[in-house]
Chain A
Amino acid sequence: MDIRVLIRSQSAFTLAAGMVYPFYLLFLKNIGNSYSKYGLAFAVFTITSAAFSQFIAPRLDRYGYRLLVISAGGMAGCMLIFPWVASYLVILILQLVMGACNAMQKMSERLLLADFTERGARGGPIGSYHFWTSIAAGFAVVLGGYLIDWLTIDALFYLSALLYGTSAWIVWRCRREPNDKSMSISGMSEGRHED
């Protein structure tokens, strides 16, 4: 695995997330009349993300790739469940799972970005990474709107699940364990700590 694979997988991830996120708010609007209910749903997401990050932190260096795969797979599962949700409690549970996935994805993404770049020469790869993931988010939002117009918000969730699954598959296909040669070349600990 290298930076290009990371960019590819995370572009698919951002495409999936960007496609759902703005419309997900509309979906949540249908589950209650109060804005405090949204607030609570998102608070559950961030609290879990924060708490789970502390569980991941000591394992991150060892399991970076796996965490990336698990987070994308977990998100795909959540997207498949969303259209079938019939209670607010299940929404909160899914927010909880997505919060954990968010912690895994964000942390391993940063880890691998650091691993795949050299100190003093990070501008180019990080620029490319940001460009492609942002472009993916841009396409996702516009195409997501078309998709809901033509089909339904459920279809958007299913397509998003497919893209998350693709992201997981891209990483899985190119997985290498941390004691691989390629890992050790690309940075090791100093870089990670600085990140």
Chain B
Amino acid sequence: MKKTLALCLLIVLCVFTYIRTDSIEQDPYLITDYSRLKPIKVERVIAGHEEEQLVRLINEARSNNKTVSIAGQRHSQGGHTYYKDGIVVDMTSYNKILEIDPIRKQIRVQAGATWEDVQKAVNPYHLAVKTMQSQNIFTIGGSISINAHGRDIRNESLIKSVLSFRLLNADGEVITVSRTENAELLPLALGGYGLFGIILDVTLQLTEDEVYVMETDPIEVEEYIDYFQTRVLADPAMRMHIARISVAPDSSFLTEMYAVNYRHDPSADLNQYNRLQTRESNVIPVKIAFGLNRTFDWAKSWFWRMQANINENQKGKRISRNNAMRTHSEFMNYSQPGKNDLLQEYFIPIDEFAGFIADMKKVLGEEKLNLLNITVRYVNRDEEAVLSYAHEDMFALVCLFHSPLSDEAQAELGRGISRLIDEVLEHRGTYYLPYAPYPTMEQFHKSYPRYQEFIEAKHKYDPTGVYRNEFFRKYGGMDEWT
């Protein structure tokens, strides 16, 4: 009897698990990205190992009318790394550090290497990356293909630190691209979402590793512009900055903020602080707290207070630049079937910040959106990339939403986000392209007025569309090319 009961219980548990995970985004034979939205079938996934192998692959793909998409860590969330029935090149195994020049502060690295690989390689030389995302888990090729940005407020955009790269183009040729050689391709492939070829290796300008003292300040949304301009930007010792806005459904909602600043401390001895921190601490309790934050309003308030306390405790802490550029992310990993955390990012001109937040508050009050987090970073004006997002100095608002992945829930989220983007555009802002493609075509055109130039260049450099992805299927009319 006991045995029958135990066996039945296990069978019930298995059936329950099967039903719970029987959704298209859990199908191991389909491919998707970090968002788990729009899984599709691809012909095959090939790990990149050798340059000759990749050249052969492109030539074969062109001869056989196959398409190629390029994938790194697949953290972009809008189908940028795959295309229906195409070949996906997984570049994560193409990850060697090729050369470090400590005198000129440069590194040449294969595109599948991550920022962590770069940090490990350059840390002994007391060098550091100039601009990268807040976390170090992304590949170099992926990061420059999405024209990433981060907490640094002094070193401009990531693509400014790219000196040159070698590109495997649609003709199967490997060409060097820099600001003097094949220069027309540089602003296309950087922030080009893998549509102009496989970036094989990249030469990056580095900077000095330094010791920073962390400073934290609670502020109100309305004071933030003044705070940032006078206390942060105007102080030449300030190197990095990030702020958070409360999403707790109480009086702090889109009103309270706190800022974390990293001020250069030239008196500190770098050798005491530059051992790379490879382990994230307190992942389990923070992950539990963040999990509650997804489901309960009270947990959002609690989580906001907890974050504020943690930040307060970091005041005065000294940290090396390389360690400051490898913040925790493991607690945010989410793998529950049928639901996911989805990022959106909006760029708002500095003087429009408070006005935008007020309008955002209105929209969030009317739409049913489960917003988990808003972080604020600063981006310099940078219009080098054809698909550039920073037409002037701006604040980047990274918003993390939690949503079911069902069609109905996605339609609802899409409607809400579309309304938010209307507000973004009203405030002379733009949105970021690596995330889920909720924005309409009209919103895309308004945010990226040089889109036509991008599409024309794509026709010129890749007329048969060897390099394709689902992002360009939607916004570049890729289907019409076949």
Contacts and interface: CB of A to CB of B under 8 A. Distances in A.
Interface of A: 33, 84, 86, 128, 131-132, 135, 138-139, 142, 145-146, 148-152, 154-155
B335 A152 contact: no
Contacts of B46: none
A16 B136 CA distance: 33
B17 A145 contact: yes
A149 B336 contact: yes
Given A33-B93, A86-B278, A142-B17, A151 B288 contact: yes
A139 B287 contact: no
Interface of B: 3, 6-7, 10, 13-14, 17, 93, 278-279, 283-284, 287-288, 291, 330, 333, 335-336
Contacts of A150: 291, 336
B86 to A, nearest CB: 24
Contacts of B288: 151
Contact of B284 (A86, A142, A149, A154): A154
Contacts of A152: 283-284, 287, 330, 333
A86 B288 CA distance: 24
A179 to B, nearest CB: 34
Contact of B6 (A33, A135, A146): A135
Given A152-B283, A152-B333, 6 more contacts: A33-B93, A138-B10, A138-B14, A151-B287, A152-B284, A152-B287
A154 to B, nearest CB: 7
16 contacts: A86-B278, A128-B3, A131-B3, A132-B6, A135-B10, A138-B10, A138-B14, A142-B14, A146-B17, A151-B284, A151-B287, A152-B283, A152-B284, A152-B287, A152-B333, A155-B284
A86 B276 CA distance: 12
B3 A154 contact: no
B177 to A, nearest CB: 28
Nearest to B9: A139
Contacts of B278: 86
Given A135-B10, A152-B287, A86 B279 contact: yes
A137 to B, nearest CB: 10
Contacts of B279: 84, 86
Contacts of B283: 152, 154
Contacts of B335: 148-149
CB-CB nearest 4 A-B residue pairs: A138-B10, A135-B6, A149-B335, A155-B284
A15 to B, nearest CB: 12
A135 B335 CA distance: 26
A172 to B, nearest CB: 25
A27 B333 CA distance: 15
A135 B9 CA distance: 10
Contacts of A135: 6-7, 10
A86 B277 CA distance: 11
Nearest to A149: B335
Nearest to B7: A135
A146 B278 CA distance: 26
A47 B165 CA distance: 47
A18 to B, nearest CB: 12
Nearest to B21: A145
A139 B13 contact: yes
Contacts of A84: 279
Nearest to A155: B284
Contact of A139 (B10, B93, B291): B10
Contacts of B333: 152
Contacts of B291: 150
A132 B3 CA distance: 8
Contacts of A146: 17
Nearest to B20: A146
B472 to A, nearest CB: 30
A131 B318 CA distance: 57
Nearest to A131: B3
A152 B333 CA distance: 9
B116 to A, nearest CB: 12
Contacts of B287: 151-152
Given A86-B278, A151-B287, A154-B283, A142 B13 contact: yes
A145 B279 CA distance: 23
Nearest to B13: A142
A132 B283 CA distance: 34
A93 to B, nearest CB: 19
Contacts of B10: 135, 138-139, 142
Contacts of A138: 10, 14
Nearest to B333: A152
A186 B3 CA distance: 25
Nearest to B2: A132
A154 B288 CA distance: 13
A148 B278 CA distance: 21
A33 B112 CA distance: 13
A7 to B, nearest CB: 12
